[in-house]
């Protein structure tokens, strides 16, 4: 059985914990917006990755600090 392609998505990852902080679905009609979003992420020191998503793929690891849940990257910040 072949998997259904959902699309391509840009992921913004926190390098300190490897968790995803933001994402944006890649869309042919939104090249400019995508470039802007990516520039913003890079400015914040995030790593940007293009991911191909298929139906049933596991969710990428999320950086949880934005949900007020302790995350590994906060340990790094504390030193």
Can you give the binding site for Zn ion, defined by CB under 5 A? Answer: 14, 17, 19, 63, 71, 73
For the CB of residue 18, give the shortest distance to Zn ion in the complex, in Å.
8
Nearer to Zn ion, 6 or 69 (CB): 69
Decide: helix, strand or coil at residue 31.
helix
For the CB of residue 14, give the shortest distance to Zn ion in the complex, in Å.
5
For the CB of residue 63, give the shortest distance to Zn ion in the complex, in Å.
3
Q: 51: number of CA atoms within 13 Å, CB side?
A: 22
Q: Indicate left, alpha or beta for 37 from its phi (over 0: left) and psi (-120 to 50: alpha).
A: alpha
């Amino acid at each position: 059985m072949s998997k259904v392609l959902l699309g391509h998505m840009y992921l913004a990852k926190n390098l300190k914990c490897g968790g995803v902080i933001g994402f944006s679905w890649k869309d042919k009609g939104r090249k400019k917006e995508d470039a802007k979003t990516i520039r913003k992420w890079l400015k914040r020191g995030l790593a940007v990755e293009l991911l191909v998503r298929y139906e049933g793929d596991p969710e990428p690891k999320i950086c949880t600090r934005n949900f007020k849940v302790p995350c590994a990257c906060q340990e790094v910040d504390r030193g």
